[in-house]
Amino acid sequence: MNYADSSLDIPEQEPCAFCDYLSGARPFTILCRNDLVAVLVTREQRGIGHLLILPVRHYPTLLESESHERHAMMDTLAWAASAIDAAFERPGIAVWQNNGTTAHQAIPHLHFHIAGTLPDGGTDFDDVPELTVEQTGHIAEQILAAAPPNGPCSPAS
Ligand SMILES: [Zn+2]
């Protein structure tokens, strides 16, 4: 079941950037994916090893998610945390997720953020440089090389 029919103010974006990345219409680094969930390497790295975990199905917020999707995303978050830990050995790993424009949601497709903390602690919510897809591809290689085997999603080819 889900909890749709909410009062949330959803950002407008047409077409959806994440759907374009998943379809290959626009280049982006996909760390891994399966039928339910995908892991992307964001070009705006707000921490060390900053990843996005999202459902493959398009819907705007946590409230429209279905139980099996939530389970898949949480399993994937835990795997991603372990992979970031193995790759970068940070003292902290942050997870955050925003619903609605006033919560600073920018793309109307549910996504969780996960990132290792920065050298000064925490994550960076100011302007950060936008990396190239080549640079995010390198981050994906570092994470996949260190990640625990048998993750919930398969490396994207
Ligand atoms: Zn979408």
pLDDT at 146: 95
Q: Using the mean position of ligand 1's atoms as its centre, give its distance from the Cα of residue 56 in Å.
A: 8
pLDDT at 60: 96
What percent of the chain clears pLDDT 90, i.e. is strictly above it? 88
CA distance 54 to 113: 9
Residue 82 Cα distances to 41, 54, 91, 116, angstroms: 15, 17, 12, 10
Angle between helices 133-146 and 67-88 (to 10 degrees): 90
Q: Using the mean position of ligand 1's atoms as its centre, give its distance from the Cα of residue 1 in Å.
A: 20
For residue 157, pLDDT beyond 70: no
Task: Kindly report whether the peptide bond that precedes residue 91 is cis, defined as omega within 30 degrees of 0.
Answer: no
Confidence of residue 3 (pLDDT cuts 50, 70, 90): confident
Can you list the domains of the chain with their CATH numbers? 17-150 (3.30.428.10)
Across the chain, mean pLDDT equals 95
Q: What is the DSSP track for 14-29?
A: SS-HHHHHHHTSS--E
pLDDT tens string 10-69: 999 889 999 999 999 999 999 999 999 999 999 999 999 999 999 999 999 999 999 999
Q: Using the mean position of ligand 1's atoms as its centre, give its distance from the Cα of residue 39 in Å.
A: 14
For residue 156, pLDDT beyond 80: no
Residue 40 Cα distances to 85, 91, 102, 142, angstroms: 17, 22, 24, 14
In 1-132, which ranges are continuous DSSP H helix? 17-23, 67-88
The label of the residue with tokens 């925490």 reads: 122
Overall average pLDDT of the 132-144 stretch:
97
pLDDT at 151: 85
Overall average pLDDT of the 89-111 stretch:
97
CA distance 106 to 20: 15
Q: Using the mean position of ligand 1's atoms as its centre, give its distance from the Cα of residue 83 in Å.
A: 25
Q: Using the mean position of ligand 1's atoms as its centre, give its distance from the Cα of residue 64 in Å.
A: 13
The label of the residue with tokens 């900053």 reads: 50
For residue 5, pLDDT beyond 90: no
Q: Using the mean position of ligand 1's atoms as its centre, give its distance from the Cα of residue 53 in Å.
A: 13
Q: Using the mean position of ligand 1's atoms as its centre, give its distance from the Cα of residue 43 in Å.
A: 17
Overall average pLDDT of the 65-89 stretch:
97
Q: pTM for the whole thing?
A: 0.95
